[in-house]
Amino acid sequence: MNTPIRIAIGADHAGYALKQALIAHLSARGAEVTDLGTHSEASCDYPEFAHAVCKRIQDGSAALGILVCGTGIGMSMAANKHPGIRAAACSDTYSARLTRMHNNANVLCIGARVVGEGLACDLADAFLDAEFEGGKHQRRIDLITAIEQGRY
């Protein structure tokens, strides 16, 4: 049997309910999911959860991350401040697939006020099932990394 993919997931209050649905969906498809909160619908600050998820990817304890807030945008902004993190806010499956294939995204951000539960699960599936194509896309990611590291 293949080793289960390790996914770190986080949400703010707006994304809490969808996060719970995504955890059930991801677990059912055999993923090993680490829930980094939030754990209720009490108002909270999304960068805290973006940070917790990104740290897990940076230290290698998770391969991929999923972040849920109202729009997916705040989470993507916070996540993309972390070195080595490539986060994409997606609300269509084409983008969720292509951001893995071309951008080697390691975090998927979803807006709970933008998409319903069914589409959110499809977005997660498209993201997880796609593979990075490498080649010319690696060259472009190397440029992103150079910008991030102040070498370009």
Q: Could you list the active site residues?
A: 69, 102
State yes or no: residue 46 binds ligand RB5 (CB under 6 A).
yes
The b-or-e profile of 98-113 (16+ CB within 10 A means b, else e) is bbbeebbbbbbbbbbe
List the one residue out of 36, 43, 45 whose CA is nearest residue 65. Answer: 36
Measured in whole angstroms, the distance separating CA 129 from the mean position of its chain's CA atoms is: 13
From the list 7, 8, 9, 14, which residue makes contact with ligand RB5 (rule: CB under 6 A)? 14
**Among 29-37, 67-75, 95-103, 124-132, the segment contacting ligand RB5 (CB under 6 A):** 67-75
In the complex, what is the shortest distance from the CB of residue 89 to ligand RB5, in angstroms, rounded to a whole number?
Answer: 9
List the one residue out of 100, 120, 103 whose CA is nearest residue 111. Answer: 120
Host H or E run for residue 107: strand 107-111
State yes or no: residue 124 binds ligand RB5 (CB under 6 A).
no
Q: Which is nearer to ligand RB5, 6 or 51 (CB)?
A: 51
Binding site for ligand RB5 (CB under 6 A): 12, 14, 46, 69-71, 73-74
